[in-house]
Each structure stands twice: as structure tokens, then as C-alpha cells.
Amino acid sequence: MLKNNTIRWPAPAKLNLFLYINGQREDGYHELQTLFQFIDRCDYLTITPNLSGKITLSPDFEDLPSTENLIYKAALMLQQQTKMSVGADIYIEKNLPMGGGLGGGSSDAATTLLALNYHWNLNLTKKQLSAMGLSLGADVPIFIEGVASLAEGVGEKLTKVFPSEDNYLVAIPNCHVSTPEVFKNPVLIRNTQKRSITELMQQKWHNDCEPCVKNSYPKVAKAMDWLIEYAPTRLTGTGACVFSTFATAEEAQVVLDNSPQWLTAFTCKGVNTSPVNTLLSTLN
């Protein structure tokens, strides 16, 4: 039975609190260990199911036709694979930068699958939704599971973890970092030794992509060089976004208030449970 109510759904960003590359496989993919944590900065999808069978997405974004958006692709795939005759009208509030390493597109796709699973009363499990979402992006299953996780292998082996829910300042350099180019870079660190979860959680954290990204993208280097004067600062994923860790929200806000005009940034808090999971727990 269709749940014909309009709901505003969060699609949170994520940070890679560390990222280590353990080697490259014969198929070209890289073995890695990385820690994903959500933050309370989100895109929002307002979804209303309809009986017409059509999926609509608004507003349009420059350089990204609606039919190429992962939100539309996720909705259409779910509709086709479950043979649903109903549709949905989706409105997006875009707060997360595209291509910044915060996982905005993957999160939007995951929220779409979780939300329509609810609205269309499909009763699919998270495991089923994750298997579906994987075809849209490697990070989509993490956003569907909705719990801070250590990802291993090529990112498919997930273990729930509970890192400190710190306060962050996230900076958005005005450039787009190509993930495939980073992984092709000959100077990329590819031989970090695999470690146990206990070892990983107790050590000082790094990102193996950081040196070559800083070297190839001066705007990323400039942001990091400014922020590291105030607090520990790392790259998230393959970038371009970088983040600094603070003991309190007030300290993060002071640095944001004093940041130079060329630096686009925001403050946020780490959360180990996705806001989508929190919302779903109040609906079911």
C-alpha cells in the first residue's frame, strides 16, 4: 500500500577519517582500509509518491541533466526492478559540493532508495538495497547501512566502528579532483601495511592520497596549509575537500569566522548513525 505522504529526507555527507592503500590488484583495483563517518551536513530530498508512474526530479542543475542524476537513476532502477507502477516527485536541496570527496551523489542515491522503499512499501532489506545501490557507486552501500564503518578490500568489506563524534571545519577548494587520475598517479603511496581494527583506531590517522593530491592541486595545498595552523587537517577521500578537527563547535566556528575570503568552508559535527537511519526509526 502506497504511503502517500510528503517527507523531507536527509542525505548526509561523509568524511574519510583515514585512507590507506595497501596494494594494487591484477585487475587494477586498489586494496584499501578507510574509515567512513557521517557528518550532520546534508542534502535534502523532499519526496511525494504519485500514482502516475512518472519519476520527476527538480530543480535542474547546470551540467547535470536530471536523467543523469544518481537520484533519478536510483529511483528508476528501483521502480523497474520491483515492477512498481507508481512514481514519485522529488525535489532536491543541494548543500553538498559535487565531486568534493564528501560522497554527496552516493548519499543522494542511497537516500532515494531508502525513502522510496518506505513510500512504496516495498519492504526490501538494507542488504537488498545495498546490492542494488552498488551498481550506482561504490560508496552507496555505506550510506544505505548508515553506520560509521571501516571499509576494506576494494571498499566492499564493512565493519561497524564507533569513532569519536568530533567537531569539524570542512573546506571546499575551488577545484575538482579526478579520483581515477589520483589512483593512476605514479607517486601515489600504494604499499601501506594492513593493520587490525584495534591498531587502526588507536594510531594517528593519515590519508595516503594526500601528498600527490597536494602536489597536483595547488588550491588543495593552499587550503590545507592555512588550516593546519589551527588544527589537525586531512584530505577526505581523494579530495578536493579537506577537514580540520576541533574539540568544540565553538573553536571550529572561531576559525571559520576568521577564514580568508578565498576559502569556502562550513562547520559540522561527526555522527556515527546516519540521519536517514534516525528518521526511518521514527517512521517504522
Alpha-carbon span 88 to 4, nearest angstrom? 10
Position 79 scores a pLDDT of: 97
Parse the chain into domains and list their residue ranges. Answer: 7-162+272-283, 167-271
Position 165 scores a pLDDT of: 97
Burial class (CB in 10 A: 0-12, 13-18, 19+), 266: middle
Alpha-carbon span 21 to 220, nearest angstrom? 20
Type of residue found at 78:
L
Alpha-carbon span 13 to 105, nearest angstrom? 9
Tens of pLDDT, residues 215-257: 999 999 999 999 999 999 999 999 899 999 999 999 999 999 9
Structurally, what CATH architecture does the domain formed by 7-162+272-283 represent?
2-Layer Sandwich (3.30)
Tens of pLDDT, residues 114-137: 999 999 999 999 999 999 998 998
What is the CATH topology of the domain spanning 167-271? Alpha-Beta Plaits (3.30.70)
The answer to whether 111 touches 276, Cβ cutoff 8 Å, is: yes
Alpha-carbon span 14 to 37, nearest angstrom? 5
Position 130 scores a pLDDT of: 93
Residues carrying an active site annotation: 14, 139
Print the SS3 string covering the chain: CCCCCCEEEEEEEEEEEEEEEEEECCCCCEEEEEEEEEEEEEEEEEEEEECCCCEEEECCECCECHHHCHHHHHHHHHHHHHCCCCEEEEEEECCCCCCCCCCHHHHHHHHHHHHHHHHCCCCCCHHHHHHHHCCCCCCHHHHHHCECEEEECCCCEEEECCCCCCEEEEECCCCCCCHHHHHHCCCCCCCCCCCCHHHHHHCCCCECCHHHHHHHCHHHHHHHHHHCCCCCEEECCCCCCEEEEECCHHHHHHHHHCCCCCCCEEEEEEECECHHHHHHHHHC
Residue carrying C-alpha cell 562547520: 267
Contacts of 136 (CB under 8 A, 6+ apart): 70, 73, 74, 77, 106, 109
Alpha-carbon span 94 to 149, nearest angstrom? 25
Q: Which residues pair with 16 in a beta bridge?
A: 36
Alpha-carbon span 193 to 174, nearest angstrom? 33
Burial class (CB in 10 A: 0-12, 13-18, 19+), 165: middle
Position 271 scores a pLDDT of: 98
167-271 and 7-162+272-283 share a CATH fold:
no
Low-confidence ranges of the chain (pLDDT < 70): 284
C-alpha cell at 162: 564507533
